Amino acid sequence: MAPPDPPLLELRDVTRQLPEGAVLVRDVTLVFRRGEFVAVTGPSGSGKSSLLYLLGLLDRPSAGHVLLEGRDTARLSTNELAALRLQKLGFVFQFHFLLPEFSALDNVEIPIRRLGRLKGAAVRDRAMALLAALGLGDAARKLPEQLSGGMRQRAAIARALANDPALILADEPTGNLDTANAAAVFDIFERLAREEGRTVIVVTHDPDLAKRATRRIHLVDGRIVSDSG
């Protein structure tokens, strides 16, 4: 009998090996529940980012299973995975990766319009609300190049939140920011997890920031060496 409420995300014996033979992630089993704020740490090349891409359905495991809300994603087509990413996941990368031709507002609107659940003015309203909540209300119509590094990263977080995802995945989101901005970004993540019940998984190599997470996973050579959860 299946449990009534499956965990949000689950990895079962997941291994990711490159065709050339290098093993990025080895036999990882992890369970993430709603509202968790997780920091994934580890030295360079320990497989942190690879693990995140597997969690984010951007990459497929060589062996093992990735389950989102109890559903095995192994057999899903590329397009079905894309649809899941659009609805349930939000990504934040080290670089903001905002589309340079479009304003912050347009950048947030793009995933909302792609999902197509909201129409017309509702799209704009939601995008504005997201930006305003992250303190970018006044800068909404500026192009990414006109924004500061911290503002860009906050705009990227607003975009990740566009379709109200249950899971936020961040890959070194503070790697390019100064301490104050980095702390602000972690404040936002903390709030998203604690107040809004989203699961936030952040890859970072900053031990001070990692301490603020509710759960810390340490990776070495693609294996989990410690998991505080």
Partner 1 sequence: MFLMFDIARGMLARRRRQTLVSVSGVALGVAFFIAIVALMRGFQTYFVDQIIDVAPHITIKDETRIPAPQAAELLHPGAAVAISGVKPRDRIRGIRAAGDKVAMLEAMEGVAAAPVLQGQALMRYGSRDVSAVVTGIDPARHIRVSNIEKDMTAGRLDDLRRTANGIIIGEGLGQRLGIGMGDTLTVISPQGVVLSMQVAGMFRTGIQTVDQGHAFALLKVNQVLQDRPNVVNQILVRLADVTQAEPMARLIESRFGDRAESWEEQSANVLTVFVIQNAITYSVTGAILLVAAFGIYNVISTVVFEKTRDIAIMKSLGFTEGDIQLLFLVQGLVAGLLGAILGSVLGALMIEALAQIRFATSTPSGANGFIMDRNWRIYAAACFFALMAAGIASVIPARRASRLDPVQVVRGAA
Residues that bind partner 1 (CB under 8 A): 49, 53, 56, 58-59, 78-79, 82-87, 89, 91, 93-95, 97, 99-102, 106, 110-111, 113-115, 159, 171-172, 175
Shortest reach from residue 33's CB to partner 1, in Å: 23
10 or 106: CB nearest partner 1: 106
Determine the longest span between alpha carbons in the chain, in angstroms: 55
Shortest reach from residue 85's CB to partner 1, in Å: 4
What is the token pair recorded at 215? 């759960």
16 or 216: CB nearest partner 1: 16
Which 3 state secondary structure label does DSSP give 70?
coil
Shortest reach from residue 78's CB to partner 1, in Å: 6
Task: Count Cα neighbours of 12 within 13 Å in the Cβ-side half-sphere.
Answer: 11
Shortest reach from residue 2's CB to partner 1, in Å: 27
181 backbone dihedrals φ, ψ, rounded to 5°:
-65, -40
State how far the Cα of 15 lies from the Cα of 27, in Å rounded to an integer: 5
110 or 133: CB nearest partner 1: 110
State how far the Cα of 106 lies from the Cα of 159, in Å rounded to an integer: 9
Q: Which residues of 174-191 are buried (b: 16+ CB within 10 A; e: fewer)?
A: bebbeeebbebbbebbee
36 or 172: CB nearest partner 1: 172
